Amino acid sequence: MSDYILQAKNLRKEFGSLIAVRDVSINVERGHLHSIIGPNGAGKTTLFNLLSGNLRPTSGELWYNGKNITRLPLHRRAHIGIGRSFQITNIFPTRTVFENVRLAAQARNRDLKAVFTVWGRMTSLELRAFEAIDIAQLTGKERMLASALAHGDQRKLELAMIVAANPELMLLDEPTAGMATEQVPEVIQTIDHIRQQGHRTVMLVEHNMSVVMSVSDRITVMHHGSVLAEGTPKEISESHEVQQAYLGELYSDLMESARDG
């Protein structure tokens, strides 16, 4: 029997005459890493905005842990465990890396006891912040001002903040965007580490196919707002339809390496 944490049923989002998300149905299995890929403008970010509650769907339904949350506002979705990565604009530039991560840990922590539980001289929130900084591979940069970080490290800070916030379902929109190539393996490691932490479910939008192929359990391919295909990395890399529409021309060499590996 399958156990879906999230189910989108015919989700649709229109912006005037533009149909950005066209009756998309997706089942996300608990504990999976489920990636959404597709060309620019396919509707991936709009879909994430519908899942997080940043946007209201034109039609369709959204179910989370067996409850219909279609009309649940953003902050209540965050409270029941749906978290999206903090954008650079959510980072306080004049605060340190550590302060930003600790604030993120606090943001969803309604259990005040945790704030005052002292372990040694550190509160559990501080411990959680240090752990998240370690997982995101920012150790040694805790005292740096967020504004002083290089772009790649700012993206890692976003990851550290969502790890600290500890949502049950994590939505990551292009965590490697704008990063130097040599930093990408560190992000893969971070995502692997996040997954090893137990029952967390991760949804990932990512253009870097080597990242997608190495971390995903399932992949949904979007094209012009619709679902073009869904399957395992192997199934997607072998899909003739996907190759034709999208992957073949852009990522043929990577697809070959995914097939051979």
Ligand X SMILES: Nc1ncnc2c1ncn2[C@@H]1O[C@H](COP(=O)(O)OP(=O)(O)OP(=O)(O)O)[C@@H](O)[C@H]1O
**Site for ligand X, rule CB under 6 A:** 15, 18, 20, 38, 40-46
Residue closer to ligand X (CB basis): 93 or 248: 248
Among Mg ion, ligand X, none, partner that 43 touches (CB below 5 to 8 angstroms by kind): ligand X
Residue closer to ligand X (CB basis): 38 or 175: 38
Residue closer to Mg ion (CB basis): 41 or 60: 41
- Please name the amino acid found at residue 118: V
Q: Which stretch binds Mg ion (CB under 5 A): 41-49, 176-184, 234-242, 247-255?
A: 41-49
Question: Smallest distance, Å, CB 235 to ligand X?
Answer: 21
Q: Which stretch binds Mg ion (CB under 5 A): 42-50, 118-126, 210-218, 229-237?
A: 42-50
Question: Smallest distance, Å, CB 41 to ligand X?
Answer: 4
Binding test (CB under 5 A) with Mg ion, winner from 25, 27, 45, 210: 45
Q: Which residues contact 85 (CB under 8 A, 6 or more apart)?
A: 158, 159, 161, 162, 170, 171, 172, 173, 175
Sheet containing strand 67-68, strands side by side:
18-29, 4-15, 59-64, 67-68
Residue closer to ligand X (CB basis): 69 or 205: 205
Nearest to 137 by CA among 108, 157, 166: 157
Q: Which stretch binds Mg ion (CB under 5 A): 39-47, 154-162, 181-189, 231-239?
A: 39-47
Q: Please say whether the beta carbons of 246 and 39 come within 8 A.
A: yes
Question: Which one-letter DSSP state was computed for residue 34?
Answer: E
DSSP-derived 3-state class of residue 113: helix
Nearest to 39 by CA among 221, 233, 178, 170: 221
Give Dmax (Cα) for the chain: 59
Q: Does 41 bind Mg ion (CB under 5 A)?
A: no
